[in-house]
Amino acid sequence: MWAMRAGVAAAVLSAALGVATADEKQGSSAQGQTGTTTQDQAKTTAGEQAKAMAPATHAMMTPSEIKWEPASDAFRPGAKQAVLAGDPSTEGAFTLRMKMPNGYVIRPHWHPTDEHVTVISGKLTMGTGDEIDRKAAKTLTAGGFAVVPRGEHHYAIASGDTVVQVQGMGPFAITYVNPADDPRNEKNRPQARRPAPLR
């Protein structure tokens, strides 16, 4: 019994260390040039799994090293963004920051993926629904956090210069509840209607 356990333990250890046992060597030579051993297949599978689970490109940066640029044309002028990790335009995880001036408004909209928002500085008032309602909204200060499930209609208003961090799975997309609120649509019409006043 102990001999059997010792044999099993040796086989497990040798497999973990990549060392072929006598039985495996015999099986390998029996297969000759025409086949691949189970051990080789296991090594290949393990290598593929390790490659798939490899971490994204290493990144560390101080606040002064973050490169800001104007936010995409899906947002009204005045906001800036900085991609910290990943690529929001492709599949996969991404992290970006958005900097907004005092009073900046992102009107009711939704995303096809979940959105995780952390307030880095300033204040961000967030609420859900098809219309902006400050009374029903909640103001988050630095360190505040929100998760917005995919498809949920929501809006945001910055109080003071505000920076937020957004994390999610790409590709990132935004659809405004009212198409007239989408800055991308203003390019296609001579006179865009003025957004409804905030309540």
CATH of the domain at 121: 2.60.120.10
- Beta bridge partner(s), residue 125: 139, 157
Q: Are residues 46 and 71 in the same domain?
A: no
Residue 131 lies in a domain: yes
Does residue 33 share a domain with residue 110? no
Element (H, E) at 4: helix 2-17
**Are 121 and 152 members of one domain?**
yes
Query: Which of 114, 117, 174 shows the shortest CA–CA distance to 149?
Result: 114
Domain membership of residue 35 (yes or no) is: yes
Range of the structural domain that residue 130 is part of: 63-186
Percent of the chain with pLDDT over 90: 63
Per-residue confidence at 186, pLDDT binned at 50, 70, 90? Answer: confident
Same domain, 108 and 41: no
**183 has pLDDT over 80:** yes
Tens of pLDDT, residue by residue over 123-178, are 999 999 999 999 999 999 999 999 999 999 999 999 999 999 999 999 999 999 99
Is the model's pLDDT at 18 over the cut of 90?
A: no
Question: Which pLDDT score, from 0 to 100, does residue 59 have?
Answer: 81
For residue 191, tell me if it sits in a domain. Answer: no
Query: pTM for the complete prediction?
Result: 0.67
Whether residue 146 is contained in a domain is answered as: yes
The answer to whether residue 199 is domain-embedded is: no
Nearest to 104 by CA among 159, 56, 54: 159
Beta strands 154-170 and 115-128, pairing class: antiparallel
So what's the pLDDT on residue 40?
54
Residue 195 clears pLDDT 90, i.e. is over it = no
Q: Please give the pLDDT value at position 50.
A: 46
Q: Could you tell me if residue 27 is inside a domain?
A: yes
Q: Average pLDDT, whole number, for the chain? A: 79
Residues 108 and 34 in one domain: no
Residue 71 has pLDDT above 60, yes or no: yes
192 in any annotated domain? no
Helix, strand, coil tally for the chain in percent (to 5): 25, 30, 45
Q: How many domains does the chain have?
A: 2
- What would the mean pLDDT of 92-103 be, rounded to a whole number? 97
The 10 Å CB-count burial string (b at 16+, else e) for 30-68 is eeeeeeebebeeeeeeeeeeeeeeeeeeeeeeeeeeeee
Q: What is the pLDDT of residues 27-64, one digit of tens each?
A: 444 444 445 555 555 555 555 554 444 455 778 999 99
- Above 80 in pLDDT, residue 3? no
If asked whether residues 98 and 156 sit together in one domain, one would say yes
